[in-house]
Amino acid sequence: MLIIPQNSSLADDLAARLRALRARIGAAARAAGRNEDCVTLLAVSKGHGAEAVRALAQLGVEHFGESYLQEALPKLDALSGMELSWHFIGRLQANKTRTIAERFAWVHGVDRLRIAERLAAQRPQLAPPLNVCVQVKLADDDTKGGASAAEAAALAGAIAALPRLRLRGLMCMLPEGLSVAQQRERFGAVHKLYEQLNRAGAALDTLSMGMSGDFETAIAAGSTMVRVGTALLGSRTDPLSMGSP
């Protein structure tokens, strides 16, 4: 655990936390025989204010993830002058897809065709394509979202044919309380599906897996994007973002 001196500024705290996190990401990549630049850090800013995002952006972080639209929008507005890449990583409700398609660069939790079709129809014509990851849920895991491996493969094919979306890859989120061996098995299964889709011609470049508690195991299993909140920004205090998405 990193000890942060009480009198240092937010920017200094975050610089130290970011350095420590980048060192852990780099070490996990090297241990797996991978190059550390093949893992992108997605800083999950839910439960933290625009100032923390601004400070991280000034330290070179480019990708930020938010799970709750009403919490995210004021931050996106406050930081609209900065060149940040915003990722929507929460549960997708049909009545929120228009705002998501208009305001975000990426959406990670796509797990059904109806949502993908709405995002495609609602992505503004002049915006670059919306980057999409299909969320995969593994067999007996009791997580809220996600398509089975077979559904994910079919969905990936359908999304590739939709206009204004760019299929980038797969995302998964493991339930809490798994052993490292179980995490490794789950992440390995999603990596295998990712490779199968690529062998079939999908041209995916993003495997979004790993959070504060399991990103090292995810990197060992081939993750290319880790979604880290607590290990970078500390615990979340905003009641709006308490509980799982």
Ligand X SMILES: *Cc1c(COP(=O)(O)O)cnc(C)c1O
Q: Rule CB under 6 A: which residues touch ligand X?
A: 44, 46, 67, 89, 173, 211-213, 227-231, 245
Give the nearest residue (CB) to ligand X.
229
Would you say 67 or 183 has its CB closer to ligand X?
67
Would you say 120 or 233 has its CB closer to ligand X?
233
Q: Report the distance separating Cα 64 and Cα 17, nearest Å.
A: 16
Cβ 126 to ligand X shortest distance, Å: 29
Cβ 137 to ligand X shortest distance, Å: 12
Q: Alpha-carbon torsion 204, 135, 237, 20, what sign?
A: negative
Would you say 81 or 239 has its CB closer to ligand X?
239
Q: At 66, give phi and psi (nearest 5°).
A: -130, 145
Cβ 201 to ligand X shortest distance, Å: 28
Cβ 214 to ligand X shortest distance, Å: 8
Q: Report the distance separating Cα 17 and Cα 21, nearest Å.
A: 6
Cβ 181 to ligand X shortest distance, Å: 20
Cβ 64 to ligand X shortest distance, Å: 11
Would you say 196 or 230 has its CB closer to ligand X?
230
Would you say 164 or 236 has its CB closer to ligand X?
236
Would you say 127 or 155 has its CB closer to ligand X?
155
